[in-house]
Amino acid sequence: MKARGRALAAAILITAAASIAQAQTAADPMADAGGAAFQNELGCGSCHFKDSTFAPPLEGIVGRKIAAVPGFLYSAALKAKGGAWTDARLDAFLASPQDFAPGSGMDARVEDPAKRRQVIAYLKTLK
């Protein structure tokens, strides 16, 4: 009887741990869609990856000072923006990098406002 009780307690603990882990890793559907668009549809990940020397990494971009990653050449217009990357600034930049900061090294645009919101939600998950 004691063995059966221990087995039942172990099964309950394993089930509870699995449920907690699943809840902790459950992602935001908007961020998931943004991640898929970032990596596949839009191709952002081909330039912006963690150890890229071509484009600045985007981990921690939301709230980070604009044009602040050491070792990257930013346009004078982007450097002159000042302040930090907010949702609104990221939205404007993704909509038209050249309008936001003429001479920016990024030419890719995300024309669909819903897709931009998804990408920004994804960027917020990058730490």
What mean pLDDT, rounded, does the chain reach? Answer: 83
In DSSP notation, the chain reads -HHHHHHHHHHHHHHHHHHHHHHHHPPPHHHHHHHHIIIIIS-GGGT--TT-SSS---TT-TTSBTT-STT----HHHHHH-SB--HHHHHHHHH-HHHHSTT-S-------HHHHHHHHHHHTT--
User: Is 75 within the bounds of a domain?
Assistant: yes
The pLDDT of residue 4 = 53
What is the band of 2 on the pLDDT scale with cuts at 50, 70, 90?
Answer: low
Sign for the pseudo-dihedral over CA of 52, 121, 85, 116? positive
**What are the residues whose beta carbons fall under 8 Å from the beta carbon of 71, sequence distance 6 or more?**
53
User: Is 40 within the bounds of a domain?
Assistant: yes
- In this model, does residue 13 exceed pLDDT 80? no
The pLDDT of residue 112 = 97
User: Is 12 within the bounds of a domain?
Assistant: no
Domain count across the chain: 1
Q: Which domain holds residue 101?
A: 28-123
- In this model, does residue 62 exceed pLDDT 90? yes
User: CATH code at 52?
Assistant: 1.10.760.10
